[in-house]
Amino acid sequence: MPVRTFKIGYASGQNRGRQASADSSASQNSGTVANLIEPFPAPLSPPLEKNTPPPNIPPSRYNMPFFNGKVKSVLSGDSLIITAPKNPNAVRTFSLAYCTAPHLKKDADEIGALESRDALRELAVGKDIQFQVLYTIPNTKREYGVVVLNDGRRLPEEMVKEGWLKLREDAGRKEDSEEALQQLDHLRLLEAKARNDDKGLWSPDLARIDVQNDLGDSQAFLETYKGKTLDAIVERILSGDRMLVRLLISPTKHILVMTLVAGIRAPTTERVNPSNNQTQPAEKHGNSSRQFVETRLLHRKVKIDVLGLSPQGQLIASVKHIQHGSIAKHLLEAGLARCTDFHSTLLGADMAPLRDAEKVAQSAKLGVFEDHVAKAVGPGGNLEAQVTRVFSADVIFVRNRAGVEKRINISSVRGPRQNEATEAPFRDEAKEYLRKKIIGKHVRLSIDGSRPAAGEYDAKEVATITYNDKNIGLLLVQEGWCSVVRHRRDDTDRAPNYDELLAAQETAKEEKKGMWSGKPAKAKQYVDASETLQKAKIQLSTLQRQKKIPAIVDYVKGGSRFTVLIPRENVKLTFVLGGIRAPKSARGEKDKGEPFGQEAHDLATKRLTQRDVEIDVHNVDKVGGFIGELYINKESFAKILVEEGYATVHAYSAEQSGNATELLAAEQRAKKARKGLWVDWDESMDIPEEEASPANGTNGHETIVPREKDYRDVLVTHIDENGKLKLQTIGQGTAKLETMMSQFKSFHLNPANSKGLEKDPKAGDFVAAKFTEDNQWYRARIRSNDRAAKQAEIVYIDYGNSEKMPWSRLRPLSQAQFSTQTLKPQAVDAVLSLLQFPTNTDYLQDAIRFLGEATEGKELVANVDYTAPEGTLYITLYDPTVSEKLTDSINTEIITEGHAMVPRKLKAWERGFGDVLKVLREREEEAIEARRSLWEYGDLRDD
């Protein structure tokens, strides 16, 4: 039996153009793809053995051997590249006997060349065949013969019959065998019939195809086709992620373009450096990656999703097999490519399946991931912690439940950099955005990685941070306050939503948000009002006129001394708590602090650092410090310190400040509990104060005010964060309000009345405001102004709720028919009688939620038990649909459900409620026994 040697390398032959050199290239890699994952399996017919003639072969040729092979590609309608069945590296060029086809040329294809090649491509590419060599041309060693397809069809007969091949003019001149002549006669008959039927190359409609060999104006191409799907043919595979494709723009317009497969980077293949003609070896698995793609896509029709352009102007696209989808996904699953982050924004949601495919290969340690080491998952992947400090837009400090504080870097994001001129001006704004979002909040941490200390850099942990189910890193990127870190290829310490972050960054850039705005922000400069005593005195009068000034604690100097920022005044000052004295903490390692000074300092640091607070300024001290009260979550921090035993009350200062009663009561509680400074307190050592003489005269007892009966139909229009109510009394006033609101709406619908405020609003001004939720106009009053932001905090005077809004959504309320003289504000202040709400934020929110559900949208009955001098109503609320007696009130329900307690010390007017108090205390004991809400840890009334 004769033995034939397969040729390795480029095919020879005339007029094959660049297709011959492109498609017959063979890999020099000794490996094979036989053991790789085959995503496109196809059932094969049983192969014919050598010397077993297929049907219709003349008997005299039985002794000529047949070989099994697989068609790798086609050069033209008459030539194929065939590989050995078990060795894709062994290739040979094979031409169909006696025939010729138009040729593909770089300058201009011959008419019908592509159609002829396509016909052969559809028949043979990727198919297992059998072929027989009939003759070779001397000196070229080019082989000519016949091919038998699996279904029994034969080439060149099938191609001639369809009109895609012509017989050579010299066919048969040197053939002296009768069988060959018979074969030629048969082919001539098929050719004549095809010509007669105007088939294939004989069709009068056949036209030249315009082939463009580059994109031309690449930006114009991208604008036209981005996001569209085009039909294409893969002409050449350079590597697993790079190929030459023919875009079938129209039947007569094709574009040959180098295309990068989106989302992946495959190992490089062996290539020759054109500058020095030296061979550059392939990266490991590079040739296998190319063979993988060649086996599945070379000379196949594919779908091309146009996505973008590389920096070199090459097309980036998703390349999809007609039946089996993205080739990138299959390459990744086989371990023959890696994901590349740079295409993530182009792919969008389609990047996620590629990441998943990469993980499959990593788990199985396939191909380029054969040495992959899975990332160790630390214990407690999802932790809860409190944010104690915001260091920058991408670095925070948190404290876990054990009280341990540590630094956390937000995964995969980076705040504005100091050394970047375009980013540095935004550092403070970005940090402030993050501070407002999460300072003091309990967040969830998912640790994504850690970095050991190296050189001047400390050890750090990177984590994904979520608050209220919102990803903080994503929010920062979406608002343009952080950029996304470009990780190294092997860097696994990254956010799990990394692709989403990259997409969000591109959107923020397009919308010019944050540091992408192109407008350098002016850094906020705070004037130090405590720099000198003279500066402090100048600022004092301005601050004394204001109450509950919004401020930020920038730094804690001690238990009762802080650096405070007041944004709306652009001032920074040293603030000292009035009415108390806290022990001093140590200022350095060698310094010795006073007893419990460090504990007081630590408590202040924990509760106040970078927190939003409110301050009342009373005076200044001798060195320019401002003395006053500071409130955190509406609670006096001086009282908190005293109650914890970390400060004592300075009676005279407390009297001057007006908070002596509250502070002295807190001090007594600390003494009885023997907390902090009072750990060794002996009650007998205290000199009891003489009771003040009663103002009403006799026996040292206050006069008990009898309970009033003043029932009113009401609506609860608002509940504030402390549980205080705003009521509307149903009656003539609400009827007038409805009439007025109808006129108010019509008035503001008229474009003639759309003129804004003539001058900047002031605190206390009445205005018309457009409510954010329903975009309707309501009467309101200015509570405070942020002149820098041109924003006001307003209160809706007929409903009691408030919000911040720009001045542009305000209108003057100068019309007489809408003034408060015509109809007074309908929302009045009210407090539920005989209830003391919890100070703990979580329990207080539960109470307010319960109260809201009990009152929302209902017409209720309120008994006004007492009216305070400033006009606040103390009420007992009844739901007439369920209340049958005086003790069946909403007040009682709140106590019963454990959302509030009965006050231990009663005011004079409260003591006339003996029967109601008895019921409330019984219900309170039931709630304690059942461990409801604030009593879940038992009876803590003495604590």
Percent with pLDDT over 90 in the chain: 34
What pLDDT sits at residue 703? 47
The sign of the CA dihedral 289, 292, 298, 301 is negative
Selected from 3.40.1440.60, 3.40.630.10, 3.40.190.10, 2.40.50.90, the CATH number assigned to the domain covering 527-587+594-678 reads 2.40.50.90
Residue reference for tokens 């029709």? 301
| pLDDT value at residue 815 | 87
DSSP code per residue over 556-616: E-SSSEEEEEEGGGTEEEEEEETTEEPPPPPSSSS--PPTTHHHHHHHHHHHHTT-EEEEE
421 burial level (CB within 10 Å; 0-12, 13-18, 19+)? exposed
Number of other CB atoms surrounding residue 943 within 10 Å: 9
pLDDT value of residue 14: 34
Bigger pLDDT: 4 vs 793: 793
Cβ-count burial 23-34 (b if 16+ within 10 Å, e if not): bbbbbebeeebe
* pLDDT > 90? residue 306: yes
Please, what CATH class does the domain formed by 210-269+283-369 belong to? mainly beta
Half-sphere exposure of 303 (CA within 13 A, CB side): 11
| pLDDT for 282 | 86
What are the Cα distances from residue 536, in Å, to 296, 543, 546, 561? 80, 10, 16, 16
198 Rama class: left (phi>0) / alpha (psi -120 to 50) / beta: left
For residue range 511-540, list pLDDT tens digits in order.
899 888 877 667 678 899 999 989 999 999
Q: Which two tokens stand for residue 26?
A: 């063979």
List, in sequence order, the alpha helices (H) in 828-889: 841-855
935/901 Cα distance (integer angstroms): 10
List pLDDT tens digits, range 458-487: 677 888 999 988 999 999 999 999 999 888
With contact defined as beta carbons under 8 Å apart, do 670 and 942 qualify? no
Domain 720-826 has CATH 3.30.2230.10: no
Contacts made by residues 193-198, CB under 8 angstroms, sequence distance 24+: 193/161, 194/160, 194/161, 194/162, 194/163, 195/163, 197/163, 198/163
Q: What percent of the chain has pLDDT over 70?
A: 87
The answer to whether residue 692 scores a pLDDT higher than 90 is no
67-202: CATH topology = OB fold (Dihydrolipoamide Acetyltransferase, E2P) (2.40.50)
Alpha-carbon Rg of the chain, whole angstroms? 43
Topology at the third CATH level for domain 383-516: OB fold (Dihydrolipoamide Acetyltransferase, E2P) (2.40.50)
Task: Determine the average pLDDT of the residues in 239-263.
Answer: 92
24 has pLDDT over 50 = no
Task: Give domain limits for the chain.
Answer: 67-202, 210-269+283-369, 383-516, 527-587+594-678, 720-826, 833-942
Nearest to 317 by CA among 223, 245, 254: 245
Higher pLDDT, 615 or 60: 615
pLDDT in tens, 596-624: 999 999 999 999 999 999 999 999 988 89
Backbone CA torsion sign across 254, 255, 256, 257: negative
Vertex 238 angle, CA 232 and 240, to 5°: 85
The predicted structure's pLDDT at residue 5: 34
Length of the chain: 943
Mean pLDDT over each residue of the chain, to the nearest integer: 83
Reduce the DSSP state of residue 873 to 3 states and report it. Answer: strand
**pLDDT reported for residue 6:** 33
- Residue spans of beta strands (DSSP E) within 393-482: 395-399, 405-410, 413-414, 442-451, 460-467, 470-471
Is the sign of the CA dihedral 217, 221, 224, 226 positive or negative? negative
CA–CA dist 563, 558 (Å, integer): 10
Place of tokens 């397009």: 510
Give residue-wise pLDDT tens across range 423-434.
888 888 899 999
Residue reference for tokens 């309320």: 813
Query: Does residue 558 register a pLDDT over 80?
Result: yes
210-269+283-369 shares the fold of 67-202: yes
In DSSP notation, 508-546 reads HHHTT-GGGSSSPPPPP--EETTSSHHHHHHHHHHHHT-
Q: Identify the bridge partners of residue 704 per DSSP, sorted by sequence position.
A: none
Say how far apart CA 914 and CA 588 lie, in whole Å. 58
Q: Using CA atoms, how far apart are residues 404 and 526, in angstroms rounded to an integer?
A: 33
Whether the CB-CB separation of 155 and 94 falls below 8 Å is answered with no
CA distances from 722 to 265, 323, 549 (A): 58, 63, 18
pLDDT tens digits, 101-135: 998 887 778 888 888 999 999 999 989 999 988 88
Give the span between the Cα atoms of 322 and 238, in whole angstroms.
21
Contact by Cβ (8 Å): 744, 877: no
The 8-class DSSP code of residue 431 comes to H
d(CA 328, CA 265): 9
pLDDT at 185: 86
Q: Please give the pLDDT value at position 943.
A: 54
Distance (Å, whole) CA 318 – CA 436:
42
Half-sphere exposure (CA, 13 Å, Cβ side) for 251? Answer: 5
Largest CA distance in the chain: 147
| Whole-number Å distance between alpha carbons of 422 and 516 | 9
Condensed to tens digits (0 to 9), the pLDDT of residues 151-164 reads 889 999 999 999 99
What gap in Å lies between CA 141 and CA 35, rounded to an integer?
33
Torsion of CA 92, 96, 100, 101, to 10 degrees: -70
Q: Examine the pLDDT at 328 and tell me if it is beyond 50.
A: yes
User: Among residues 469, 492, 551, 569, which one has the least CA distance to residue 788?
Assistant: 569
Residues with Cβ within 8 Å of 511's Cβ and at least 6 positions away in sequence, in order, are 480
The residues facing 465 across adjacent strands are 445
Half-sphere exposure (CA, 13 Å, Cβ side) for 57? 25
The fold of 833-942 is OB fold (Dihydrolipoamide Acetyltransferase, E2P) (2.40.50)
Ranked by mean pLDDT, which of 21-30, 32-41, 231-240 comes out on top?
231-240
Question: Which residues are CB-neighbours of 241 under 8 A, at least 6 positions away?
Answer: 260, 261, 264, 265, 266, 289, 328, 331, 337
Contacts for 575 with CB less than 8 Å, ≥ 6 apart: 551, 561, 562, 563, 564, 615, 625, 626, 628, 630
CA 543 to the chain's CA centroid = 41
Please report the pLDDT score of residue 12 as a whole number.
Answer: 32
Q: Looking up tokens 């040739």, which residue turns up?
A: 287
